[in-house]
Structure 1
Amino acid sequence: MRPIARLLLLSLSLPCLPSFAEPVAGLYEVREPVTSQQPADREQALQRALDTLVLRLSGDPAALRNPGLAELRKDPQQLISKYGYDDEALKVDFDPLSSERALSRAGISLWGANRPSILAWWLNESVDAASLVGDGQGSAAPLRAAAQRAGLPLRLPLADLPEQLVATADTLKASSPDALREISTRYGADALLAVDAHEEEGKWTAQWKLWLGDSREQGNAEGADAASLAEAVLWAVNQRLAPRFVAKPGAARGLSVQIEGADLARYAELDRLLEPFAAHLQSVSGNQLNYQLNASPEQLRAQLALGGLHELAAEAPAASAPAEGVATDPATPPAAPAAPRDPVLRFGW
């Protein structure tokens, strides 16, 4: 983005601001378990790594049946910058640019690296006890690994005593997140994930709910152990969120966007929110910012909603009137109207 110099210099002096969406670290890095380092096992692991990347970027299991992906599976190394063995896994680094181009050519819709940050209130229940998963606990490791695999920026609470008293099973199963909102504000996340997980006779099941803005998603999941349950929940979250943010091939176009009610702090927020769309700040008028960017309207609306912006009604075009003193001839047909220009999308807080 190339903002006006005055705003750029001032924004650099701002204190740390709340983050709306954040880039996922290691989005193009995939680890696949292997049983050996034999060539046949390696090739199968590379193909599985490609499938994992496609799911991570598209959120669409149907994308794995795309005919174009079958061709890429024959030679996944054309998309790979490097790979190597790490313990009992093959670590694969995909080249972002080559991967995005190849998957887009195959007609697969892609979700960019800037994704909603998710605060997970995860309660593990067994016959004997219940435990809220907190940052730094051993029980957090499966959640972090599953979030990395699903391409989601996950945050976990401290799980201190005040939070344990609030984040009970009844709270996590409630239809509204109101009881969680106050204790969640300290973490500055975009979305809240409430998970009530149960272990019984060696089998794990969970009910989960996800709130992002005014929308709610929910579902059930099961797994043979805590790690597989975490993967089931977070892949489900990926697949529910992705349709709001994916860029369908050919859907992006040049858009004119007007932001109302901006101040210096909000300009810095917008700079981060609009970064995926190659946005250019065209002009500033009072508290109004005017941008040119490349996106689909649906994708732009979903992204700006992360920053608390809502769409405003389009400004009505000024009606043209005949010049003063010029008579009109009723027999003369009216001139054909000029072709309408693409409307300016308007947003504000």
Structure 2
Amino acid sequence: MSEVRTLTRLWRGRTKLPAAMMLVAGLVTGLVTGLPTSARAQPAETAASRPMTYPARSMRLIVPFPAGGVADAVARMLAERLSARLGVAVEVDNRPGAAGTTAGDVVAKASSDGHTLLFHQTNMLIQPGLEPVPYDVVRDFTPVARVATMPLFLVIDGRLPMQTAQQWTTAVRSNPSSYSYGYGQPGSPAHLYAEYAVRGLSNAVPLVAAKGEAAVVQELLAGRISACFCSFSAVQTHLRNGGLRLLAVTGMTRSPLAPQVPTLQEQGLDGYAAAAWYGVMAPAKTPRAIVARLASELDSVTGEREVRARLMAAGLTPVRDSPEAFATAIRSESIQWQVILRQASHGGEP
């Protein structure tokens, strides 16, 4: 263009140029000015201007549970289904330890490109109230979707006469030292609900820790503890013969696993609305398009008949969720669990 301007300036200044040169100047000026703006100035392509390709490589699903349990089995089923749908390998990376905070810290510090995800449970909302954790659940993660809830049932020794949650509560308050609650994992929803159930009784009701939920059930069957908050899968084989009895279920609604069992709220006992869930989260600032894609794929996965059957066989209720609904649940349930923690630890009536 500088050459064109020079030629034009010389022409306007009546500098005598050869006729051929004047013809070239006119042609170049016409060709350049006739081009569209986009053709005249082509900026260099940047990473931001290129279409996003996702996923661009294999992915990791970080799991804070050891291999072999129910949670690990669910995570592997999800990884297998996502791999088929996304067209890349989705590898399960088990990072047990520190009550799940080890796995959470890995994902909180990971790149927000959607290739590192976290499969976690409700405990991550409880743990900050028990001890310092290296991340903030709301600030450092992007909720993608819950995939299942795990309803917890108030279960008692089948030899006891109580048939309703109200009868059980009345008996416990009348003679606290005669009854006990068991739990398998410190800081779990089952533990917190047991603590919450005996609030205001000056810790007169024994709380018995066992090595896992299966051990709690064995203690119940042996008559060494009276009750627990347990998953349906842990107790279902002992319901038919009357060894154990379901009195109520936590959460806002009845469970499809045992629809005849009323909620604690239906029976006039408040404070048991928060659900235990399994869900997928991404690092903070993960692009909304990636989160939406993942949520859509997970929704399709949990809608599969085989997946739903396998989840229910494991004592879980399938959930078809959205990032927005999951985020709302995290905010509200974080408050609920912290209230339960405070009330349980201080032993005061709500």
Query: Which TM-score band applies after superposition, normalised by the shorter structure?
Result: under 0.3
Q: Whose RCO is larger (CA < 8 A, sep 6+)? A: 2
Q: What's the TM-score, normalizing by structure 2? A: 0.28
